[in-house]
């Protein structure tokens, strides 16, 4: 396997050479293509579960930002809490906040991009072709 690594420039090499190195490694290690593909799709965030996890993690970060803003408007003074000028966003339910967040252009684009890439890659049934359809960023994210 070291011969494969020695012949590939993972930083400046072209995608085809890098993809071929991944393929050769898998062949030498006798890895099952379906397992490799499923692992890669999960790691790249292209499965239903991983897309859900990505969106929910981003929503939690969004909620943490809102809580931080909320905390800046709440003070404890003379043994009582004082709430100053809260925006209307604090008067809606968490469910509505999630729906609003989920329907933003940023999240819709993320979900659609991941679904599209996932569909393309999951429909490839050839081990070598699978890696050759990935971008340099995707291959790099998978790691050697």
Over residues 21-52, the pLDDT tens digits come to 999 999 999 999 999 999 999 999 999 999 99
Phi, psi angle pair for 63, to nearest 5°: -65, -40
Distance from C-alpha of 4 to C-alpha of 21, rounded to nearest angstrom:
6
pLDDT band for position 79 (cuts 50, 70, 90): confident
In-domain check, residue 34: yes
Residue 92 lies in domain: 2-58+87-142
User: Stretch 76-96: mean pLDDT, rounded?
Assistant: 72
Q: Is residue 67 part of a domain?
A: no
Q: Indicate whether 36 belongs to any domain.
A: yes
Can you tell me the mean pLDDT for 65-85?
Answer: 77
SS3 104: coil
CA–CA gap between residue 139 and residue 17 (Å, rounded): 11
pLDDT given at position 86? 63
Q: Is residue 5's pLDDT more than 60?
A: no
pTM value is 0.75
Q: Which residue has the tokens 């579960």?
A: 49
Q: What average pLDDT does the segment 70-83 reach?
A: 76
Residue 65 lies in a domain: no
Rounded mean pLDDT of the chain? 87
Please report where in the chains the tokens 């940023």 appear, as a residue: 106
Q: How many angstroms separate the CA atoms of 118 and 46, rounded?
A: 4
Q: Which of 121, 126, 124, 115 is nearest to 139 (CA)?
A: 121
In whole angstroms, what is the distance from residue 74 CA to residue 35 CA? 51
Tally of domains within the chain = 1
Pick the closest to residue 137 from 10, 7, 37 (CA basis): 10
Spatial CB neighbours of 123, under 8 Å, sequence gap ≥ 6: none
Question: What integer pLDDT is reported at residue 108 of this predicted model?
Answer: 92
Q: Is residue 70 part of a domain?
A: no
Indicate whether 72 belongs to any domain.
no
């Amino acid at each position: 396997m070291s011969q494969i690594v020695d012949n590939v420039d993972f930083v400046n090499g072209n995608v085809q050479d890098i993809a071929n190195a991944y393929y050769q490694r898998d062949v030498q290690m006798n890895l099952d293509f379906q397992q490799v593909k499923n692992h890669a799709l999960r790691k790249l965030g292209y499965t239903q579960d991983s897309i859900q996890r990505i969106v929910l993690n981003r929503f939690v970060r969004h909620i943490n930002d809102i809580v931080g803003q909320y905390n800046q408007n709440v003070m404890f003074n003379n043994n009582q809490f004082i709430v100053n000028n809260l925006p209307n966003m604090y008067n809606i339910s968490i469910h509505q906040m999630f729906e609003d967040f989920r329907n933003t252009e940023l999240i819709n684009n993320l979900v659609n991009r991941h679904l599209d890439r996932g569909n393309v890659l999951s429909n490839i049934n050839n081990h070598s072709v699978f890696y050759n359809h990935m971008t340099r960023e995707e291959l790099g994210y998978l790691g050697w």
